Structure 1
């Protein structure tokens, strides 16, 4: 394997660290210890004769107050965050947990509170043992005043954030943002900067070593292997694919036709397989999560069609984003030169994305007239603005949704409203039927 770490792989691991609650508090604790002891550096200069004289007692009082209160506030912050995480899992979907736990404001607040506590303990211990002199006392006083200001500002901002964290609206927004980022990355690189899959693929099949989901593919490593062996790699499992022993990950080939066991291991190591799907490189997962939130809102226990209607609007925004031009023309020209010309990667299909987004909503909302009307209007909008594959997928799901509504709605008036909203599909179907009849008549003549 190459000794370098690709940018995409580095981004993947940084995002995984971002989901760990201990990373930022640990970094803040180390900085706090360094700041508390850095006040000693002022004693080694001539600042003592210039700076105002500060008695150690006021500084000791401030540090004692901080040490006594910060641990309590940090404990309160943890309990509030845990409650928000539980609320997000119960009201939205457990699949959104990774986004909620990665909330920047909550992690920064927790890190600030713990860091202030560690700083006060270390500085108070050093102060009581006579570690500082006159210049150190003044520097420590300034650092403590700054720490108090940072804590107060962070606490005020965090209270506004924690009041919304875990709420259904905030969760939907976070899922939409994560899905939009994944969609933009895939739209700008439909084949992940590789080349499209060519027909008649032959080679040695590499299977998954464990059960899980493909989370990330290191195409740079695959390209390096292919250049070294003068071979090619055909990706068979995109991020989000369920992997299991016997499930194909890739098909590899070399000019010599020989594949060593070490080559298979290198290919396998380029596929990051985990227990859960993640949002980074899997735009379809975001659509699935949004659909799950809508389906839970439509369940009899919750009965919240308004949330489902909100999700439908969110899905329309995401598909409109997907349909927008990928890049400027100058940048698009550069995309014709793939970074990984020895790695063949399949593209994701709009039809599959529509299945992920709308199938569950149409099934669980079939008996709710307002949801079905909004769904038909959303599909009509996508059919009007989308390209040919999106137009066909939208009409296909509009027909399925209309049929589900026909079977679920008991009131004829409700069904008539849904049929009126789906008139764009019926018109196309009628036109097609008329053309078919005309063709048959011409054929008979």
Structure 2
């Protein structure tokens, strides 16, 4: 029987962040609040306010609620249709990987929640009013609540109209992908090993017991608190080999459990204590990658947007150039000075986690653009200027990666371009890589 995952604060944080991609969460909360608001209005009758509040005509309240009930259902249906169209546009015009970012748009979710919540409030309140549940004070409370809901719906609708006009457009999707990637990169640069010990990717073969996944998919999240707890129980060390974003199978180890060479974990007296499922349960694995704990996924999504823009069917080099500028900003953020008050302290001294490799991040960000834009002079030149800007930073690893990708991009352009003047222009832009600056 598979080991159930422990409920930890870090796991709750990740689950809460993933809830933003569920369209039903906010509407459900607003529906509950709407029903509660109707029943709370009954308390006004119990407070003895009948002689102090104005008397409201019951027919006028019924009329307002009837108008709201009929109109909110239409608006909610229209909102869903507009949202579906925007999601389809984001998926086809940018990249399907950006769809979770578009779905998680706060303004759109708040609008749909307000429309559905107002509809539920009007239906429940209308039933209560028609059945004479309220006295004069309760009726006045319902009247005030109805006006308040009307005001909220109008303000929300005005904001939503402005947002829905841009939702799903490529420029808006690039902005959302940049923010998601920037947030993930900023968190990771202040916690390069997620609060655990550091381990090098070039470390020789592990001698510990490998723990593999029981499912096939991408690692979305690692609960290091659970791993630390298990390591303390077994008096061992854990070396994580699969960072968030890694594709794992039933034969690829998620981690290695290392212990004293004189003690064999699988043959010692602690056999019933050592349960691989207890370690594997700390990994959240899904068929898709997520932006929350996977900085490389944001870079890859931006690269895919540029790659689609460079396809012959779309032929939009301007979007690819915009993405290149976005990637330069993200890598500049990655190597910018750290804020000491935000650095994550070492919390998990029995767990080792590898850091992100700059070369891998450059592969995710620039390989597709360099390949698909090799024959376009404007894209190739802008790409070389981006590499020049990144090579001039104080980060040696980033400088080496920028020069390496500059040489590869130049080679691709020389093979793809037919006009010598275009090739010479790209070479001039790439001169910094030849002299090692």
Pick one of 294, 314, 317 that aligns with 2:306: 294
Task: Report matched runs for 1:142-181 at 5 Å.
Answer: 142-181=144-183
Length, aligned pairs only: 425
Structure 2 distance, partners of 1:3, 1:53, is: 57
The equivalent residue for 1:233 is 238
The answer (yes or no) to whether the contact 1:54–1:137 under 8 Å persists in 2 is yes
Alpha-carbon spacing, 1:13–1:204, altered in 2? closer, same or farther (3 Å)? same
Aligned residue for 2:197, secondary structure, equals coil
Q: Give me the whole-angstrom Cα distance separating, in 2, the residues matched to 1:178 and 1:416.
A: 37
**Structure 1 runs, 4 residues or longer, greater than 6 Å off:** 1-4
Partner of 1:209: 214
TM-aligned CA deviation for residue 212 of structure 1: 0.4
RMSD value over aligned CA atoms? 1.5
* d(CA) in 1 for partners of 2:5, 2:429: 58
The one of 89, 97, 110 aligned to 1:87: 89
SS of match in other structure, 1:170: helix
Q: For the residues of structure 2 that align with 1:128 and 1:46, how far apart are their CA atoms?
A: 22
Secondary structure of the equivalent of 2:218? strand
Aligned to 2:41: 39
Name the structure 2 match of 1:443.
none
The equivalent residue for 2:336 is: 324
Select 2:315's aligned residue among 284, 297, 303.
Answer: 303
Q: Following the alignment from structure 1 to structure 2, what is the Cα–Cα distance between the partners of residues 315 and 410?
A: 28
Distance 1:270 1:226 in 2: 12
| Partner SS for 2:275 | helix
Partner of 1:153, secondary structure, is: helix
Contact 2:209/2:265 (8 A) holds in 1: no
Aligned equivalents of 1:189, 1:165: Cα separation in 2 = 32
Residue in structure 2 matched with residue 342 of structure 1 by the alignment = 350
- CA–CA distance in structure 2, aligned partners of residues 11 and 188 of structure 1: 17
Q: Where does 1:121-140 land on structure 2 (aligned, <5 Å)?
A: 121-140=123-142
2:436, 2:156 → 1: CA distance? 57
How far residue 258 of structure 1 moved from its aligned partner, in angstroms, is 1.7
Unaligned ranges ≥5, structure 2: none
CA contact (8 A) 1:234 1:252 kept: yes
Give the CA deviation at 1:18.
1.2
Greater fraction helix:
1
Alignment of structure 1 residues 16-35 onto 2, 5 Å: 16-35=18-37
TM-score (norm 1): 0.93
Deviations 1:375-410 (A, max 9, x none): 000000000024110000000000001101100110
Asked whether the equivalents of residues 2 and 221 of structure 1 are also in contact (C-alpha less than 8 Å), the reply is no
- Consecutive unaligned residues in structure 1, runs of 5 or more: 430-445
Q: What does 1:345-356 align with in structure 2 at a 5 Å threshold?
A: 345-356=353-364
TM-score, structure 2 normalization: 0.95
